[in-house]
Chain A
Amino acid sequence: MVGRKAPGGRIPRALLIPALVGLAFIALPVLALVVRAPWSDLGTVADDASLTTVLRLSLVSGALATALALATGVPLGWLLARGSFRGRSVVRALALVPLALPPVVGGLALLLAFGRRGLLGAPLEDAGIILPFTLTAAVLAQAFVALPFVVLAVEAAVASVDRDLEDVAASLGAGPVRVFVRVTLPLARPGLAAGAALAFARALGEFGATVTFAGSVRGKTQTLPLAVYDVLQRDRDQAVLLALVLLALSALVIVALRGSFLGGGRSRD
């Protein structure tokens, strides 16, 4: 739905036309993907063992990256919403860097930090831990780009939680951790879920940082977007079919999101 007409008013054509153009701009390529897909070859792709591997790699790394982003992004978002400390705006700006940074640059930065001769990578290598071109690197690359979505969503969600409820919980005997887990988090849940879903979607589609830091090693670091690009060099039809799988996953994420904030309001009961 484009929008309901305001009572007694009309949607001005000057707004309606560009809005429809924008919608078509999104819908047409998606439609093209579906229409031009070699559906007759679907069976061969479904049987393909490499697809299973790629899909599994994508889901596993995406889930791990989301978990990592949540584990660090939730406390960070809480800190930005509730903490009163100097340099908070600097912290917020820093947390948003991966959002503005081109992913390839992010991947390069990760390589310089965690690569074999990187800032932290060199001592890690001495300890026998080599990150680049491993699944761990793919997870790190995805978490890097997904983190800001969690931080932003959690900060907004926590800020909207009534502080008086946290204070009352404390007066009832709940320590800070209990207040956070039993009161703040449940009340921030809708925003938290939205942040997690967006982070997962972003991790799933991550390309630039992953290819730079983790490479496109088949069966090891090659996730769906990397596979789509790889296959595209040789066989366009196959690439389209792989892309459809990604499209289906994205659709699932959007359906999951609908409950948390696209539909507006909370999704309890």
Chain B
Amino acid sequence: MFLDATLPHLDVVWQVARRTAAEGQDPEDLVQETYLRAYAGFESYRGGNTRAWLAAICLNVARSQARRRRRRPREVPGLALLEALPWDRADGGDGAADVANVVMAGLDAEAVSGCLGLLPEPQRVCVVLMDVAGYSAREAAHALGCPRGTVLARVHRGRRRLAQLLAEAGVSHGQP
């Protein structure tokens, strides 16, 4: 019952976990912990949007584990510091390559990952939920417990800042 309801959403949980796992934290461990927490709370779960419910759990687990590790997201704007950053790892696997061919030839996924890490957390989380994991604004709002309009505003600001950071980093977009 629980697995039937939740495992179909493994892909979106994975996308969220990959981008929200703290440094040094294995995203696969985060996914597993998310499902275990979800299982523990499944009896009290009243139904509704399972995808949003799983995202909320994943974000909470990631935050609590990050706090435990006493790490904070970096907020270091500016090209000079940008270049000095160690980029998050992004393998650019087959699936990512397919998307790249469609939307933006030549864009460096590692650069995107690094620039995404520079966004303020509220914007970054909204971009991850909507653009990486594919949640709707309504689902993201449910997961984050905030109004849909807030999510739309944050994701818009996050996308713009991401595009500006990529432009500063000299990443070619392949599109005018």
A, B from the same assembly? no
Q: Which residues of A contact B (CB under 8 A)?
A: none
